[in-house]
Amino acid sequence: MRIIKNKKQHWFLLGFTLLVALCFGACESSKQEKFDLKTLAQKEVKYASTFSLYEGEGFQVIEVKEPWPKAEKSLIYVVGEDPSLVPENLEHQHFIQLPIEKMVVTSTTHIPSLESLNELNKLIGFPNLDYISSKGARKLINEGKIKELRQNESLNTEVLISLKTDLVVGFAVEGSNKSLNTLEKMGVPVLYNSDWLERNPLGKAEWIKVFGILTEKEAEASEIFNEIESTYLATKKMAQESVYEPEVISGAMHNDRWYLPYGDSWQGQLLSDANANYIYDYTHGSGSIALAFEKVLEKGQSADFWIGPAQYTSLEQLLESNSHYQKFEAFQNKKVYGTAMITGETGGVIYYELGPNRPDLVLKDLVKILHPELLEEYQLNFFKALK
């Protein structure tokens, strides 16, 4: 071992060593610094608030900004053919390999996007097949091409793994889904879809752009969305020109509380765009408002229409549930409209599947109900008057 006798030389070498160490640490820190998505080209997302889209060199990024209520951070998904093109410091949940040949989805609201893009053939599994109303999907189910996976919160992971799917499109209500967590640990890519958290009706429909990236049909997805947007805005403009603004109540009793949508919810927005005077349009929040029956009766007894009385399919059912419903003028005048009567082959309510994807048709239904003179030849798609 060499002994350094010269103090100047000693301090010089010590300083040099520290400098090298600092430089090395800085270089390592630089390498590990999180990749800034803002350096990528941002793709157009006009109404949706829960996701953003970016394009890089040879890859695309789907940022799910609100994967579940009160999520602490975004989930980043990188989509492409070659993972080597992805920057090393781009933190992401999964790299989703293209092309995707097989896919599992977990909500009926995911199915219309695949169907619109002519990609239903990629769907190989779904939890509780009876909820599906799509005729195209039911044909595949009857042919044994889409497998039963039980419930979203307790997926049959053994069956799912055996399907060797390329991707699972899931959702989580409370920030955790044990079945999906298990799949991710086993190496199955899971993309969380939060279309159900969108408050703007067109924001829900805009999720087709995510499926456009996953199916490599971005142009088609944008074209479909643009048509929906155009029809929606034209219908809204037509409705707003009417001088009549009917008063509307919504929801129904569950246990000892009346549950109805907030004014800034997507249902509230649809009623507003249909030029209705929704009696709780001034309210703000997520989920549903829970009120005492007396409060709703006091405020909405004279309302012209009752739109969306929960799961009820007839006026008789409503009365059997609560005889006090007959105090509402909308009930007395038989102006109660619901969606539970229009179902698919196995009982799935079509509105819950297709409605969020086609707000243009939902808005037309509401305008037809509230302002029938504006759409004389139009036939309702989702709503029906309770008999």
22 found inside a domain:
no
Task: With beta carbons less than 8 A apart as the criterion, state whether 166 and 100 touch.
Answer: yes
φ/ψ (deg, to 5) at 145: -90, -15
Check residue 21 and give its pLDDT. 47
| Domain limits for position 155 | 37-226
CATH of the domain at 273: 3.40.50.1980
Question: What is the average pLDDT score of the chain?
Answer: 91
341-356 pLDDT tens trace: 999 999 999 999 999 9
Task: With beta carbons less than 8 A apart as the criterion, state whether 149 and 169 touch.
Answer: no
Check residue 4 and give its pLDDT. 45
107 found inside a domain:
yes
Cis previous bond, 261, omega within 30: no
φ/ψ (deg, to 5) at 46: -90, -35
159-215 pLDDT tens trace: 999 999 999 999 988 877 888 988 999 889 999 999 999 999 999 999 999 999 999
270 and 348 in a common domain: yes
Domain count, the chain: 2
- What band does 330 get if pLDDT is binned at 50, 70 and 90? very high
* Higher pLDDT among residues 191 and 286, named by residue: 191
193 and 305 in a common domain: no
280 and 184 in a common domain: no
322 found inside a domain:
yes
Task: With beta carbons less than 8 A apart as the criterion, state whether 364 and 296 touch.
Answer: no
120 found inside a domain:
yes
What is the average per-residue pLDDT within 270-290? 94
The whole-model pTM stands at: 0.90
What is the average per-residue pLDDT within 33-55? 93
24 found inside a domain:
no
126 and 155 in a common domain: yes
Domain boundary among 166, 194, 226: 226
203 and 68 in a common domain: yes
- What band does 6 get if pLDDT is binned at 50, 70 and 90? low
162 and 45 in a common domain: yes
In this structure, of 9-18, 173-182, 237-246, the range with the lowest mean pLDDT score is 9-18
What is the average per-residue pLDDT within 53-78? 95
* Higher pLDDT among residues 28 and 46, named by residue: 46
Tell me how far apart the alpha carbons of residues 171 and 154 are, in angstroms, rounded to a whole number: 13
Check residue 32 and give its pLDDT. 57
27 found inside a domain:
no
- What band does 235 get if pLDDT is binned at 50, 70 and 90? very high
Check residue 36 and give its pLDDT. 86
Domain boundary among 172, 202, 226: 226
265 found inside a domain:
yes
CA 97 to each of CA 51, 134, 188, 218, 220: distance values in angstroms, whole numbers, following the listed order? 20, 27, 11, 16, 20
What is the average per-residue pLDDT within 221-227? 98
193 and 65 in a common domain: yes
Domain boundary among 226, 256, 279: 226
313 and 214 in a common domain: no
Q: How far is CA 173 from the centre of its chain?
A: 11
Check residue 191 and give its pLDDT. 97
380 found inside a domain:
yes
247 and 218 in a common domain: no
Instruction: Look at the alpha carbons of 339, 201, 223, 51 in this order and tell me if their dihedral is positive or negative.
Output: negative
154 and 53 in a common domain: yes
Q: Does residue 324 sit in helix, strand or coil?
A: helix
- What band does 9 get if pLDDT is binned at 50, 70 and 90? low
295 and 161 in a common domain: no
Tell me how far apart the alpha carbons of residues 199 and 359 are, in angstroms, rounded to a whole number: 12
Which token pair is 238? Answer: 């037509």
361 and 312 in a common domain: yes
